[in-house]
Structure 1
Amino acid sequence: MHDLIASPFLKSFVLLRPGRPEGIKLPERRFRELERARDSGATLPFWLMDAARARWNIEPAARPTNEAVLVRDASMFGHSCASWEINLGCDLAWEHCSPGQKRFAGLDGKGKRRVLLTLRDAGILWLRITGGEALIDPHFAVSCRLAHDLGMMIEVLTNGTRLSAPDILAALNAGRPYRVIVSLYGATAGTYDSFTRRRGAFKRVTAGLAAGIEAGLPLQLALIVTSQNAHEREQMLSLADELGLPHKECTHIPPPIHGGAESLASRSPAHLKPLERFAGCSARHACLHVDPHGQASICEVGRDEQIDLMTEGLQGLDRLPGCSNDNPS
């Protein structure tokens, strides 16, 4: 199993460590040196061992470069990050959820493998796995491990109800995400279970957080503040501090995928935070989105034109539309 990833990234090159968000920018000559060492079976160069020691406080063993470092080939596409809805199904039922109808339809294991291979070939380095609820997907463990083995840096979005399951903990330890974001919908069982319309949900989430912390997972909390749970906002902040987890408040609930306005009524006006003015984004240029059926679009919001990766494959990405006021930098 590789300890590090060396990869083209936009117009540069980076050295990354699975499970950690920070990296090292490489000069092109160093990246080319790693390519040659990979192909020849040469041992790790001393400069890389020194850099890994300084950046991550690790002591890489002197072994062949092609065993210690996954050196990724350049792609003809300029993409570097993607979000992937592995499934829209969910085990909770809060009524303003952005996926809308929580159906478990989607690709089988073979189809999901094909999606990941296509994303690898498109140059995707940073992969966000989401849903629905990602951890309840029957192919999550295999998909997470495959994404890691293909040289992707993984982020997982989850509601945390299955974090304590042994198979999930094993998958996350093997796949080594650099971030696991857990959505929090309240600070007490009464509010949480009412909000999610699932008895025992709060107990499962708190057990999952405890298990994740014990396993050393890189957890972060997304505090979902709405009109239904705003009275527990301070308690949610205190809970995050007690757990010692970084957190971010989410007050602007996005509209459902089908474009309805029901999420607007769930917002708490007193807690809405200012939104940044849109000044362009990297959709299509560097980022893309894939839904549970293998349909690619420029992002989670812009789904008007989709490319069927199952029928068109990698070449179909050439037809992704542009983004208004786009900025590829």
Structure 2
Amino acid sequence: MSDTAFTENASSYADGGMGTAGDFFELLKPRVMSLVVFTALVGLVVAPGGINPVIGFTALLCIAVGAGASGALNMWYDADIDARMTRTRTRPVPSGRVTPQEAAVFGTVMAAGSVFVMGALVNWTAAALLAFTIFFYAVIYTMWLKRSTPQNIVIGGAAGAFPPMIAWAAVTGDVSLQSISLFLIIFMWTPPHFWALALCKSGDYEEVGVPMLPVVAGERETRRQIMLYSLLLVPVTLSPVALGFAGWLYAGATAGLGVVFLALAARLARCAPAPDGDKTAQHRAAMRLFGFSILYLFLIFSLLLVEKMAGIAPVFP
């Protein structure tokens, strides 16, 4: 985007506003929120002891609203770089449909409300974890890590890994090794998932000065790191079996899914750009891994849910 176009776009999001309900809903990053809510639902269901359905629904709603608040605060702070990236320039703030001030107030009110309701109606342990998650994503990741280190997505990925732990705490009132294992699955999944996409969008990140790994360390190192994290991820996905709250169905299916994940990561690792600089094959392999990674995480958590609902999960110790 030219400097003139950027200046015009920046002016529009500074002076715009009066967005529709759909624009404010877009601030919540609904596609991200859907995965957050699903992993939280699994944490709620597999946690020992059970929970009143109304309280459980309240906990999920608070997690969803808190995740949406994080997204709104992220879009408020990142409006300057969003306006210059092809993937994000049509978002509500850079496009001028919602002002930065509106996004900031909207996100702050939702964040405070979700934490208060979680504490008052569920328990304060879950509320404290939710508050920390919002703070971690909006402040630690968005305002600091994202623009300062190529490890931004590794450390910042913790924010997306907390929802099943928060839901577990909503049921039990505490944090356990079992809930930490759910956290670790998402935490280890995030780097290969996001870096696969970053390989295809590195030009955007370079243009706006965000030090994503492909920009700072190069594509070869990024492919190597994706392979390394994939090798670490697969055994972590089997930790629920070792900790006694997943059974044979989960173990077998997860192992099979892990083989597919590793095969796609290995294919990407070998898929360097052609001598003439053509990156078509690399981008194709990267997007194949990126697409499968979403299905992979969904199926892993679905297996935990299926075992629990079917009554074939091990009796919780």
Q: TM-score over 0.5 for the alignment?
A: no
The TM-score, its normalising length taken from structure 2, stands at: 0.29
The TM-score, its normalising length taken from structure 1, stands at: 0.28
Tell me which of the two structures has the higher relative contact order, counting C-alpha pairs closer than 8 angstroms and 6 or more residues apart: 2
Q: Would you tell me which structure has more strand in proportion to its own residues? A: 1
